């Protein structure tokens, strides 16, 4: 029995400790307003307060905290990317993830399972080797492995040669992990609030205020009134285009639904995280025993989080090629999130042409794993007014300059 | 013996007393009757415990007999988490309990309950993470404890299929409302599909003493040709535009309806009191199902607790089934109540506060009643009443899952203490109890009106809309707060997740006061029954704790599926497209090893796998020295015809086509709007207004799609047709190819002058009409023959026969890759990536500079004006050097500058050659570059392309 639980068993009354302070009245103004109370916004708030001493911060969200894509993603964490910029960025995130439970004093159930990206074609084997070589050169633990080794790591997966797309090889990334996504948002929220950051759920931003010449942000309009702000950070994932539109920014982003689903809980069956780009599936088994699964993005842009039947049919037709034994496993729940897809599969981060307005967007299907490093780098960027070195290549202006950071080859989700 | 607790007819609608069925549970043999579920048969035999609970491993059994609780999930061989109260018994069935270590009775996991005090709500968030890495150890322990059933790794995926169905009106639920609506819609002339999850129609009528009515109505339904009944079948999802998923056994019906009527009834809700989870604590409807459907006496002595008049009917049913009703506690005060069975002592204004357990919590020993003194509070308890059953009746929530799939949000009516429906999309209707309509006469009349409306929505409007009398309403059905939290706990709100009233209070105290946060923190509603029996209680308990109205609290979203679907039923048989060329069997006959290429299968090489390298080398040399055949049928073929055909190609591709002569082909390179290379091929001008364009095997469909997409905007006068499947393609290449071909094309002059390199002709080859392209992908004299697909094998055979003397042989993709590499030709997708633009790949020559527009042109212009950051070059290594692998890196200093995109040992040149991206300052021939091969640096020399036949004399012979 861990010591941390003793007080609960021994106390006469439950020793409650509020994760979120009771929502305060909205002040007239703040130094920094963060639009979006998901993992990214909350992490940025905490890093602003913790790293830079900026505590006059309000985090606004139209719903409940952590209720957008933080609540909807499948919580896979990895750094086996394809570009040196991407690898450096996500590798820093992995460093932060490993200590996050202790730093935030909440068990985020960070579970290093190992991550296997399967290759079913020659072309995929080449891409996996490319990623492995880039990773190794940049000291990320990643290697190309063959079916005998795959069988050792995932003994319940079918490696039959007589299926439509036999498994030829895999990119093996031992540090690949999963975590309890909700706890990440709660942890950052509590830690930020303890530093003086104000949390304002159910507070939707309806407009932005700028200086008379339109060059500088001066505040935001919300459903609870107008708030002045010296600096504003938007971190709203699927709604990035709409919010940036209020700031007069046109983003090279398409909002596309991505669905996922979860099975009923079962005894341990699968340890590693399995991804197959060719079959458009990914699967892991949570600590509760549920299989958490996803597949290809929906084939068209949409601002709706409705579920579809086709998604499940396609997902499981492919899933059962790899895991025929899951045929009788009941599916419990499906849902959708809206992903903000960039053309080069890298994020859009940093200052914008509107002075004092910062953006953290373009998170597509790879946002959760970046939560800690986004918090750190965006806080640095907002606090200093200069992009953090790790995110310089993710500037919005790269598209006009034709300096894309091509990460399509490292995407797990089929597009 | 089919159970000690069997009742005589008329009880037992589902069972066949003549057909005993033997099965095993936990290794012990039981006998039930055909029509029994596992749960009913076990109950008939006195076995009430089916499972251990998720967190505390407490013994649990069925409460509703409706198949919706985690507590009834059992294991079959190869099938986990099957609801025992929905699973019919079959002869020899082997059933075991889940989530227990060492058997259901001696579950070692039950020891955990002793530490319950140390496991408060969300306890796993509060500890186990220090020191660093501790969770890795703890998680393994947790994972063993969590999870319910087991997946047998040898389970096959087999026997599933799918079927499409169409209906004007789909009616979900075959009770009074559903059958009435279906009949009314059929009266209007609509085709109706009626889906019900029970073996026989009737819904609640079947277990509430109205079997006669049910049978009469079911007879009417059966007599109507317009109504198709699917039962037992479960509708698991409503998707946009009335697209319904209906699961019947191992089949998934995908139903497209024009209107949907949801008549799924209501879900009876449990009470909260101490030990409300014991086996033997039943919902009123659960007891009634047991009696009426399965002919099983639920127990011997019952205490009934009710908050409505339905509880009196339950008490009467119990008495009729021979159960002694020892006491009836009515949460309401004294009033005008229905009669109670003889001998039952009525306690008006009383509740049950605790069920006293048998040893090991194996069942109920007694019930403790106490007066209700305020909302959720009871006074001094009365002496316990001995009993083996506690039956509760305190209200319902609508089974509104399918309605919620449409985006409808449930509300809460404070006066009725009921969840209420919100706005529904067009064509989606709700009838009966799901719509909070309970009076049978009103339900029937209203359902007829809704059936008429649904038919009208589907285009079958007949006569006038039936009138429905005023619904007397749902007052008195729901008790507003049948929850009596007890200090000793075990007062469960969510039985799936073992969450108690204190957990809700503590989560609220921890600040999780939004319902979505509360759900995620406590996991209430996240278990297999997805909140069916906990959502309403949670809503009211939260409102009570916060001192607000339930309507202000709100509900979490009910998501598909409405009932669990297995992965197998969703997957079905799985139709993965697979394309074979016309020559597929010729390749197999020739001993080819086939490899996937997109959706196609192509021959990699022709030999046993242990002769791979040798065979590839021989095939490559055959083309260099003699003649070979390559199946190129998988290349895309697209016809572009019309007055604007040339203009269209000018815009789509980078090169110039306006002045391309008829009878000539020209290279095509396609870029996207960012200037990145996406495909290549050749365009053959067959006539002034007719081009035949090839595309890469995996790119063809995308190219065709892009063409249509662009021309939807340009509106050029062209017809674009993907004719890939209509043609079979064979490349005959090698110095002897002309000699082999000539006798087969008597009508065509093949000389270099008459039919030069890049020429295109149409002629008969061995009597087969062909498009003949003189192209040189492999760098030798060669002809691509594109023939009608059906003639593929004949053409292949003719060529093989004609070439026999010349030593002709089939050549696979692997050899072709080497041959093209020797010529320095790129493969799009292998030698390019998602950002490669033409200048980087040294293909500026393929860009027409003078034309005003082509897709990607502006981007390419901008990119070309900047210094390059990398360049694709040829490199070579000495023969004894270690062989690099494709996608190993090119390093300059310590930084990555590029990668090897293609590499091979050239049979004809006798050395290792390859293509790689290098830094621009290393791109000149003669420069030394550094490859990282298996972790070690290897020097390579940049050389000019092509490696082989630099003057291109051989291909233009």
Give the domain ranges of chain B: 1-153, 161-267+398-457, 276-394, 489-572, 631-819
Domain B489-572 has CATH 1.20.140: no
What residues 211-240 of chain A have any CB closer than 8 A to a CB of chain B?
none
Is B599 strand, coil or helix? coil
Is A3's pLDDT higher than 80? no
Measure B8 CA to nearest chain A CA, in Å.
Answer: 37
pLDDT attached to residue A414: 61
Q: Which CATH architecture has domain B631-819?
A: 2-Layer Sandwich (3.30)
Tell me if domain B1-153 and domain B631-819 are identical in fold.
no
Sheet with A291-295, strands from edge to edge, namely A143-145, A169-173, A115-119, A273-276, A281-285, A291-295, A254-263, A330-341, B565-566
* Residues A339, A335: Cα–Cα separation, whole Å: 13
pLDDT attached to residue B516: 93
Interchain CB contact of A196 with B (< 8 Å): no
User: At the top level of CATH, which class does the domain B1-153 belong to?
Assistant: alpha beta
Q: What is the pLDDT of residues A323-332, one digit of tens each?
A: 999 999 999 9
- The whole-number average pLDDT for the span B816-835 is 95
- The whole-number average pLDDT for the span A23-43 is 97
- The whole-number average pLDDT for the span B565-593 is 94
Contact flag B127-A101 (C-beta cutoff 8 Å) = no
Query: In whole numbers, what is the pLDDT of chain A averaged over residues?
Result: 95
- Helix ranges (H only) for B606-758 are 612-625, 645-652, 700-714, 737-741
Q: What is the pLDDT of residues B347-368, one digit of tens each?
A: 999 999 999 999 999 999 999 9
Q: How far is CA A118 from CA A275, A346, B322, B782, in A?
A: 6, 22, 62, 38
Nearest CA in chain B to A1: B118
Q: What kind of fold does domain B161-267+398-457 have according to CATH?
A: FAD/NAD(P)-binding domain (3.50.50)
What residues 378-397 of chain A have any CB closer than 8 A to a CB of chain B?
none
The torsion defined by the Cα of B39, B41, B43 and B49, in degrees rounded to 10, comes to -50
Is B142's pLDDT higher than 60? yes
pLDDT attached to residue B889: 97
Residue B228 pairs with which residues in a beta bridge? Answer: B193
User: Could you tell me what percent of chain A has a pLDDT over 90?
Assistant: 88
β-strand pairing of B389-393 with B301-306: parallel
- The whole-number average pLDDT for the span B587-596 is 96
Nearest CA in chain B to A129: B887
- The whole-number average pLDDT for the span B241-261 is 97
pLDDT attached to residue A415: 53
Measure A102 CA to nearest chain B CA, in Å.
Answer: 7
Is A411's pLDDT higher than 90? no
With contact defined as beta carbons under 8 Å apart, do B610 and B603 qualify?
no
CB-based burial, A289-318: b 16+ in 10 Å, e otherwise: bbbbbbbbbbeeeeeebbbbbebbbbbbbb
- The whole-number average pLDDT for the span B671-697 is 97
* B565 chain-A contacts, CB cut-off 8 A: 312, 330-331
* B562 chain-A contacts, CB cut-off 8 A: none
- The whole-number average pLDDT for the span A183-210 is 97
Q: CA B515: distance to chain centroid?
A: 27
* B143 chain-A contacts, CB cut-off 8 A: 267-268, 287, 289
Residue B112's pLDDT band (cuts 50, 70, 90): confident
Q: What is the pLDDT of residues B529-555, one digit of tens each?
A: 999 999 999 999 999 999 999 999 988
Nearest CA in chain A to B241: A308
Interchain CB contact of A248 with B (< 8 Å): no
Nearest CA in chain B to A154: B153
Interface mutation vs chain A, best among B119, B520, B560, B567, most A CBs within 10 Å = B567
Of A14, A18, A316, the CB nearest to B570: A316
Roughly what angle, to the nearest 10 degrees, separates helices B515-522 and A181-194? 120
* A112 chain-B contacts, CB cut-off 8 A: 136
Q: What is the pLDDT of residues A274-321, one digit of tens each?
A: 999 888 999 999 999 999 999 999 989 999 999 999 999 999 999 999
Contact flag B559-A308 (C-beta cutoff 8 Å) = no
* A327 chain-B contacts, CB cut-off 8 A: 155-158, 160, 566-568, 571
What residues 104-133 of chain A have any CB closer than 8 A to a CB of chain B?
106-112, 120-123, 126-127, 129-130, 133
Of A14, A180, A316, the CB nearest to B506: A14
- The whole-number average pLDDT for the span B303-308 is 98
Interchain CB contact of A309 with B (< 8 Å): yes
Contact flag A126-B127 (C-beta cutoff 8 Å) = no
Residue B896 pairs with which residues in a beta bridge? Answer: B891
Of residues B713 and A10, more confidence is placed in B713
Q: What is the pLDDT of residues B32-60, one digit of tens each?
A: 999 999 999 999 999 999 999 989 999 99
Interchain CB contact of A146 with B (< 8 Å): no
Contact flag A306-B143 (C-beta cutoff 8 Å) = no
Is A99's pLDDT higher than 70? yes
pLDDT attached to residue B118: 86
- The whole-number average pLDDT for the span A333-349 is 96
pLDDT attached to residue B778: 94
- The whole-number average pLDDT for the span A65-88 is 95
pTM: 0.94
Is B652's pLDDT higher than 70? yes
Contact flag B572-A343 (C-beta cutoff 8 Å) = no
Q: What is the pLDDT of residues B169-218, one digit of tens each?
A: 999 999 999 999 999 999 999 999 999 999 899 999 999 989 999 999 99
User: Could you tell me what percent of chain B has a pLDDT over 90?
Assistant: 89
Q: What is the pLDDT of residues B832-890, one digit of tens each?
A: 998 999 999 999 999 998 999 999 999 999 999 999 999 999 999 987 889 999 999 99
Nearest CA in chain B to A286: B143
Interface mutation vs chain A, best among B69, B157, B244, B674, most A CBs within 10 Å = B157
Domains of chain A: 25-75+181-251+344-410 (3.50.50.60), 112-177+255-341 (3.30.9.10)
- Written as six digits, the tokens of B219 are 């007879």
Contact flag A334-B568 (C-beta cutoff 8 Å) = no
Where are the strands (E) in A223-329, listed by range?
225-234, 254-263, 273-276, 281-285, 291-295
- Written as six digits, the tokens of B226 are 């317009």
pLDDT attached to residue A404: 87
* A8 chain-B contacts, CB cut-off 8 A: 117-120, 123, 126
Least confident of A120-129, B2-11, B229-238: B2-11
Interchain CB contact of A97 with B (< 8 Å): no
Of B560, B595, B835, the CB nearest to A307: B560
Is A162's pLDDT higher than 90? no
Q: How many Cβ pairs closer than 8 A exist between chain A and B?
A: 292
Pick the CATH number of B276-394 from 3.40.50.720, 3.40.50.300, 3.50.50.60, 3.30.70.330: 3.50.50.60
- The whole-number average pLDDT for the span A172-192 is 97
Is A413's pLDDT higher than 70? no
- Written as six digits, the tokens of A285 are 């088994």
Is A149's pLDDT higher than 80? yes
């Amino acid at each position: 029995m861990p010591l941390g639980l003793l007080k609960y068993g021994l106390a006469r009354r439950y020793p409650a400790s509020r994760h979120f302070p009771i929502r305060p009245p909205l002040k007239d103004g703040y130094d920094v307003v963060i639009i979006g109370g998901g993992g990214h916004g909350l992490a940025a708030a905490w890093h602003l307060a913790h790293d830079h001493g900026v505590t006059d911060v309000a985090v606004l969200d139209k719903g409940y905290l952590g209720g957008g894509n933080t609540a909807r993603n499948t919580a896979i964490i990895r750094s086996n990317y394809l570009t040196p910029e991407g690898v450096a960025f996500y590798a820093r995130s992995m460093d932060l993830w490993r200590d996050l439970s202790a730093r935030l004093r909440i068990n985020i159930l960070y579970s290093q399972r190992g991550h296997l990206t399967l290759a079913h074609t020659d072309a995929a084997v080449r891409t996996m080797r490319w990623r492995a070589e880039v990773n190794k050169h940049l000291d990320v633990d990643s290697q190309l492995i063959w079916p005998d080794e795959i069988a050792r790591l995932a003994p319940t997966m079918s490696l039959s040669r007589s299926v439509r797309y036999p498994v030829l090889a895999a990119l093996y990334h031992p540090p690949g992990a999963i975590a309890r996504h909700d706890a990440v948002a709660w942890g950052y929220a509590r830690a930020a609030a303890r530093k003086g950051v104000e949390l304002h759920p159910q507070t939707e931003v309806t407009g932005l205020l700028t200086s008379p010449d339109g060059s500088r942000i001066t505040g935001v309009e919300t459903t609870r009134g107008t708030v002045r702000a010296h600096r504003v950070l938007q971190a709203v994932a699927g709604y990035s285009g709409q919010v940036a539109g209020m700031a007069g920014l046109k983003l090279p982003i398409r909002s596309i639904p991505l669905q996922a689903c979860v099975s009923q809980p079962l005894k341990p069956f699968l340890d590693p995280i399995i991804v197959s780009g060719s079959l458009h599936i990914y699967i892991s088994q949570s600590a509760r025993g549920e299989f958490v699964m996803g597949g290809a993005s929906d084939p068209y842009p949409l601002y709706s989080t409705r579920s579809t039947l086709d998604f499940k049919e396609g997902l499981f037709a492919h899933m059962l090629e790899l895991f025929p034994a899951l045929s009788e496993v009941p599916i419990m729940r499906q849902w959708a999130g809206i992903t903000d897809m960039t053309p080069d599969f890298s994020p859009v981060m940093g200052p914008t042409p509107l002075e004092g307005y910062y953006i953290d967007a373009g998170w597509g299907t790879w946002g959760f794993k970046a939560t800690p490093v986004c918090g750190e780098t965006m806080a640095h960027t907002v606090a200093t007014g200069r992009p953090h070195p790790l995110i310089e290549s993710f500037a919005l202006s790269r598209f006009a300059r034709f300096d894309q950071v091509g990460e399509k080859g490292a995407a797990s989700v089929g597009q | 013996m089919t159970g000690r607790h069997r009742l005589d007819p008329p009880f037992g609608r589902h069972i066949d007393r003549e057909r005993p069925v033997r099965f095993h549970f936990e290794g012990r043999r039981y006998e039930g009757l055909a029509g029994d579920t596992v749960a009913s048969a076990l109950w008939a035999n006195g076995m009430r415990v089916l499972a251990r609970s998720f967190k505390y491993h407490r013994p649990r059994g069925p409460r509703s007999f409706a198949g919706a609780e985690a507590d009834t999930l059992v294991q079959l061989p190869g099938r986990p988490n099957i609801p025992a109260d929905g699973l019919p018994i079959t002869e020899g069935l082997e059933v075991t309990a889940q989530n227990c270590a060492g058997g259901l009775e001696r579950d070692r996991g039950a020891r955990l309950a002793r530490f319950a005090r140390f496991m408060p709500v969300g306890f796993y968030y509060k500890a186990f993470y220090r020191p660093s890495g501790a969770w890795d150890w703890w998680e393994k322990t947790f994972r063993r404890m969590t999870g319910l059933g087991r997946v047998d790794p040898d389970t096959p995926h087999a026997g599933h299929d799918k079927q499409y169905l169409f209906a004007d009106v789909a009616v979900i639920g075959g009770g009074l409302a559903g059958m009435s609506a279906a009949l009314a819609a059929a009266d209007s002339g609509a085709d109706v599909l009626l889906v019900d999850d029970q073996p026989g129609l009737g819904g609640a009528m079947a277990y509430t003493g109205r079997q006669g009515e049910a049978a009469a109505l079911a007879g009417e339904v059966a007599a109507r040709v317009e109504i198709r009944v699917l039962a037992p079948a479960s509708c698991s999802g409503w998707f946009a535009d009335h697209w319904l998923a209906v699961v019947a056994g191992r089949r998934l019906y995908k139903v497209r309806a024009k209107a949907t009527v949801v008549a799924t009834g209501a879900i009876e809700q449990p009470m909260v009191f101490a030990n409300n989870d014991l086996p033997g604590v039943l919902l009123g409807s659960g007891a009634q199902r047991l009696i009426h459907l399965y002919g099983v006496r639920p127990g011997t002595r019952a205490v009934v607790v009710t908050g409505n008049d339905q509880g009196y009917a339950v008490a009467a049913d119990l008495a009729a089934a021979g159960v002694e009703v020892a006491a009836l506690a009515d949460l309401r005060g004294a009033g005008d109540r229905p009669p109670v069975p003889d001998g039952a002592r009525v306690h008006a204004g009383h509740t049950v506060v605790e069920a006293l357990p048998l040893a090991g919590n194996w069942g109920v020993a007694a019930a403790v009643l106490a007066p209700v003194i305020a909302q959720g509070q009871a006074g001094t308890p009365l002496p316990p009443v001995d009993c083996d059953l506690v039956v509760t009746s305190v209200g319902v929530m609508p089974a509104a899952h399918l309605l919620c799939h449409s985006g409808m949000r449930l509300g809460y009516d404070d006066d009725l203490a009921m969840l209420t429906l919100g706005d529904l999309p067009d064509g989606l209707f709700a009838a009966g109890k799901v719509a909070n309509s309970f009076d049978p006469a009103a339900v029937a009349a209203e359902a007829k009106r809704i059936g008429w409306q649904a038919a009208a929505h589907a285009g079958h409007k007949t006569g006038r809309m039936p009138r429905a009398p005023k619904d007397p309403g749902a007052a008195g059905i729901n008790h507003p707060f049948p929850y009596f939290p007890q200090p000793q706990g075990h007062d469960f709100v969510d039985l799936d997740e073992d969450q108690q009233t204190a957990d809700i209070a503590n989560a609220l105290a921890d600040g999780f006061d939004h319902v979505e946060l509360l759900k995620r923190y406590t996991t209430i509603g996240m278990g297999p029954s997805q909140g069916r029996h906990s959502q309403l209680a949670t809503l009211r308990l939260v409102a009570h704790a916060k001192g607000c109205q339930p309507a202000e609290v709100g509900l979490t979203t009910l998501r598909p599926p409405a009932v669990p679907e297995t992965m197998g039923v969703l997957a079905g048989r799985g139709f993965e497209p697979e394309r074979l060329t016309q020559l597929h069997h010729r390749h197999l006959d020739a001993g080819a090893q086939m490899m996937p290429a997109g959706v196609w299968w192509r021959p990699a090489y022709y030999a046993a796998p242990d002769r791979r390298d040798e065979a590839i080398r021989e095939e490559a040399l055959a083309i260099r020295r003699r003649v070979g055949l390559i199946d190129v049928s998988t290349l895309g073929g697209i016809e572009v015809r019309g007055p604007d055909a040339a203009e269209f190609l000018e815009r789509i591709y980078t090169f110039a086509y306006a002045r391309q002569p008829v009878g000539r082909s020209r290279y095509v390179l396609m870029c996207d709007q960012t200037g990145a290379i996406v495909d290549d091929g050749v365009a053959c001008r067959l006539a002034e207004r007719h081009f035949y364009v090839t595309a890469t095997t995996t790119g063809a469909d995308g190219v065709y799609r892009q063409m249509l997409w662009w021309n939807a905007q340009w509106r050029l006068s062209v017809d674009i047709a993907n004719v890939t499947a209509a043609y079979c393609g064979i490349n005959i290449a090698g110095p002897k190819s002309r000699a082999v071909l000539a006798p087969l094309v008597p009508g065509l002059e093949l000389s270099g002058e008459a039919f030069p390199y890049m020429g295109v002709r149409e002629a008969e080859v061995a009597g087969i009409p062909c498009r003949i392209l003189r192209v040189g992908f492999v760098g030798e004299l060669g002809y691509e023959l594109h023939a009608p697909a059906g003639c593929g094998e004949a053409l292949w055979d003719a060529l093989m026969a004609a070439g026999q003397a010349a030593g002709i042989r089939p050549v696979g993709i692997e050899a072709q890759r080497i041959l093209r590499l020797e010529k320095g030709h790129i493969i799009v997708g292998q030698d390019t990536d998602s950002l490669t633009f033409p200048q980087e790949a040294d293909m500026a020559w393929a860009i027409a500079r003078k034309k005003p527009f082509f897709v990607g042109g502006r981007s390419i212009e901008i990119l070309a004006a900047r210094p390059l950051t990398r360049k694709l070059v040829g490199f070579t290594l000495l023969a004894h050097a270690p062989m690099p692998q494709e996608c190993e890196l090119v390093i300059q200093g310590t930084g990555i500058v590029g990668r090897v995109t293609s590499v091979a040992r050239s049979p004809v040149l006798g050395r290792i050659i390859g293509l790689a991206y290098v830094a621009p300052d290393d791109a000149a021939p003669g420069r030394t570059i550094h490859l990282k091969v298996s972790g070690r640096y290897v020097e390579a020399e940049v050389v000019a392309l092509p490696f082989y036949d630099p003057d291109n004399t051989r291909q233009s012979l």
